[in-house]
Amino acid sequence: MQETEAPNGSAEKPASERIPELKKFKQELLVAGYSAQTIKMYETYARLFFEFAKKPAEQVERGDIISFIAEMKEKHNASNATMALALSALKFFFHTFLHRKIIEDIKVPKKAKKLPVVLTKEELKALFKATKHGRNRLILEFLYSTGCRVSEASKLKVDDLELEEGIARVKGGKGNKDRIIVLSKQWISDIKRYLKKKKKKSEFVFSKKNAKPISSDSIQRIVKEAAEKAGITKDVTPHKLRHSFATHLLENGENIRKIQELLGHSNLSTTQIYTQVTTAELKKVTSPLDAMGKKHAIKNASTEQQS
């Protein structure tokens, strides 16, 4: 959003300079334990709101927030999920941070429940094959074989790995929760060789040349480029690999509660969405029409034999 002209003709200061509370907002979110991605989004929507409202925080009313959300829908065709996220950001800002409960009864349509998009096993093989052996391929295989979030992969440390036990510890996951993940035997073999040959030692499993951790954005780019090389037409992201991990485990008959633990879901209902996309078991179901035809064919064959 561009700077606007103030009444005296000079450029109006950006919201981040006009609204002193915005500077402390990030600190409040950090203390509350929000992830870096959530903090970034909440800061963005709070800033956009004040650029829209053009008034100090103490003068903001319920109607200002309604107008802001309405403009998001009318002018920018924002999705229900985007409007809900913006409202959550403003609710935290005014209710939790400033203790001004002015958003109590504002509602937006519920987020549409879309089925997760997953990659087939053939697509995954092509994805890995399109990537050279080394860090990038290990990242792709790790994301799919563990179901970890991209932020968790970028922060993974060598000390978090228990290779002899075949597990790793994800520390400070979503909701600041720790959990144990299971590692692929093949991946363990490959990561041992990779870490041993690594020229620049780092405390992080996936690091840059300067030993600092690789960023989530870089991992996103690695996944996208690999998908393009593999000729996969789907919009492949790290989170799609997480979806694929859960779906394929269910198709292989794994217990859904175990999958819930591996994914780090607080509620089983979040994991249960994957039961709607497992096609392997659905394909075993016989259509009632086919079943009817089969019985009819058996009956006819029996009648012919009797005659």
Looking up residue 88, the CATH number of its domain turns out to be 1.10.150.130
Establish if 102 belongs to a structural domain: no
One-letter amino acid at 162 equals E
The tokens for 30 are: 């950090």
Co-location of 139 and 80 in the same domain: no
Give catalytic status of residue 149 as yes or no.
Answer: yes
Domain span at residue 204?
121-282
Q: Which residue has the tokens 């029996």?
A: 302
Co-location of 69 and 152 in the same domain: no
Query: What is the arrangement of strands in the sheet containing 167-170, beginning at the earlier edge strand?
Result: 161-162, 167-170, 179-182
Co-location of 78 and 129 in the same domain: no
CATH number at residue 229: 1.10.443.10
Co-location of 72 and 133 in the same domain: no
The series of mean pLDDT values per 10 residues for the chain, 307 residues long, is 44 66 89 86 94 92 94 91 93 93 82 80 96 95 95 95 95 77 94 93 95 95 97 95 93 90 87 73 68 59 53
The tokens for 291 are: 């079943």
The residues pairing with 167 across neighbouring beta strands, listed in sequence order, are 162, 182
Q: Determine the Cα–Cα distance for residues 223 and 128; give it in Å rounded to an integer.
A: 10
The pLDDT, as a whole number, for residue 304 is: 53
Q: Determine the Cα–Cα distance for residues 278 and 260; give it in Å rounded to an integer.
A: 16
Establish if 93 belongs to a structural domain: yes
The active-site residue out of 47, 91, 135, 149 is 149
The pLDDT, as a whole number, for residue 276 is: 74
The active-site residue out of 274, 283, 295, 299 is 274
- Could you list the beta-strand ranges (E) of the chain: 161-162, 167-170, 179-182
Co-location of 277 and 133 in the same domain: yes
Establish if 302 belongs to a structural domain: no
Q: Which residues lie closer than 8 Å to 130 by C-beta, 6 or more apart?
A: 226, 227, 229, 230
Residue 274 contacts residue 243 (beta carbons within 8 Å): yes
Co-location of 30 and 140 in the same domain: no
Co-location of 138 and 211 in the same domain: yes
The H-assigned helical ranges of 92-198 are: 121-129, 135-146, 150-155, 185-197
* Domain final position from 81, 97, 113: 97
The active-site residue out of 91, 137, 155, 242 is 242
pTM, two decimals, is 0.67
Co-location of 190 and 270 in the same domain: yes
Establish if 287 belongs to a structural domain: no
Establish if 301 belongs to a structural domain: no
Give catalytic status of residue 265 as yes or no.
Answer: yes
The active-site residue out of 47, 135, 174, 243 is 174
Query: Do you know the residue count of the chain?
Result: 307
Co-location of 135 and 271 in the same domain: yes
C-alpha 252, offset from chain centre: 23
Co-location of 125 and 92 in the same domain: no
Sign of the C-alpha dihedral computed for residues 279, 248, 120 and 118 taken in this order:
positive
The pLDDT, as a whole number, for residue 6 is: 45
Residue 69 contacts residue 90 (beta carbons within 8 Å): no
Establish if 299 belongs to a structural domain: no
Co-location of 130 and 251 in the same domain: yes
The residues pairing with 204 across neighbouring beta strands, listed in sequence order, are 157
Q: Determine the Cα–Cα distance for residues 202 and 74; give it in Å rounded to an integer.
A: 49
Establish if 270 belongs to a structural domain: yes
Establish if 182 belongs to a structural domain: yes
Q: Which residues lie closer than 8 Å to 176 by C-beta, 6 or more apart?
A: 33
Q: Determine the Cα–Cα distance for residues 76 and 1; give it in Å rounded to an integer.
A: 13
The pLDDT, as a whole number, for residue 300 is: 56
Co-location of 92 and 177 in the same domain: no
Give catalytic status of residue 242 as yes or no.
Answer: yes
Question: Looking at the 3D structure of the chain, how many domains does it have?
Answer: 2
The pLDDT, as a whole number, for residue 9 is: 47
The pLDDT, as a whole number, for residue 274 is: 80
8-state DSSP, 156 = -
